[in-house]
Amino acid sequence: MAEDRPGNAYTQLLSLAVHEFRTPASVVGGYLRMLQRDVDQPLSGRQRKMVDEADKACGRMVALVSELSDISKIDAGSAVFKDERFDLFQLIGEVAKEMHEADEREVHLQPSGEASGASITGDPGRMGAAFSAFFRAILREQPYAVTIVAERRIVSDNGSPTAVVLIAREHDVQQSYKSGRSAFDELRGGLGLALPLARRVVERHGGRVWAPDLGAETSQGRQAIAVSIPITVEPGR
């Protein structure tokens, strides 16, 4: 019989919640798609607009359930992670190039620092999704036009080579490296469960996430996220 630990109750509750939410969300989504595709009694323009919006909301609910399921599996130790060698800095550069959701506000993301040389073993798909979540969190929090930098460095952490990625406003980068470390706020509205999931993915790869302490102006768009992950030194480096 499994030991009755709080962790077991927690993961069981998450699994139950995933199952209970997924079933009605799937049913609602199915009926909405039937309405959208009904050629015998097509929707009016006004009806289609309402159904389309409802379908988007339902899709978002399904995505949340999927994220909750992933969190449940990671916490329970049953999530499947790939075991591949890849360059973290190259992956971050590729992900950063695809981030355009804040372009209309003139908020842009610019990779900088070392473009390669951070070899790690793990799941590149999950890691890419994690950094996409970190990028979106910082980009959406900027109140006006600014350049956000994804600055990549290799540092020595207690004698071990470590990849550090700092996501911050361009003129805050150097201060962020010198500042203290604050707790990473993963409970931000508008991002679903992407940040709690991203933090778990980084930790599963042996890394950690924190927020550089930028002082009293943090609430005015000076948020930053720092990620560090141990790397494997390539021969000859």
Q: How confident is the model at residue 216 (pLDDT cuts 50, 70, 90)?
A: low
**Candidate ranges 79-93, 166-180, 219-233; pick with highest mean pLDDT:** 79-93
pLDDT digits (tens, 9 = 90+) for 124-145: 999 999 999 999 999 988 888 8
Residues present in the chain in total: 237
Q: CA gyration radius for the chain?
A: 21
Neighbours of 163 (CB within 10 A): 24
What tokens does 44 get? 């009016």
- 84-230 topology per CATH: Heat Shock Protein 90 (3.30.565)
pLDDT at 205: 96
Cα distances from 223 to residues 32, 106, 137, 140, 206, in angstroms, run: 39, 17, 9, 11, 24
With a cut of 80, say whether residue 45 has pLDDT above it. Answer: yes
pLDDT digits (tens, 9 = 90+) for 155-207: 988 888 999 999 999 888 888 888 888 889 898 877 889 999 999 999 999 99
Each domain of the chain, given as residue ranges in start order, spans 6-76, 84-230
With a cut of 90, say whether residue 148 has pLDDT above it. Answer: yes
With a cut of 50, say whether residue 55 has pLDDT above it. Answer: yes
pLDDT at 234: 57
How far is residue 219's CA from residue 164's CA, in Å, rounded to a whole number? 24
What kind and span of H or E run contains 34? helix 6-37
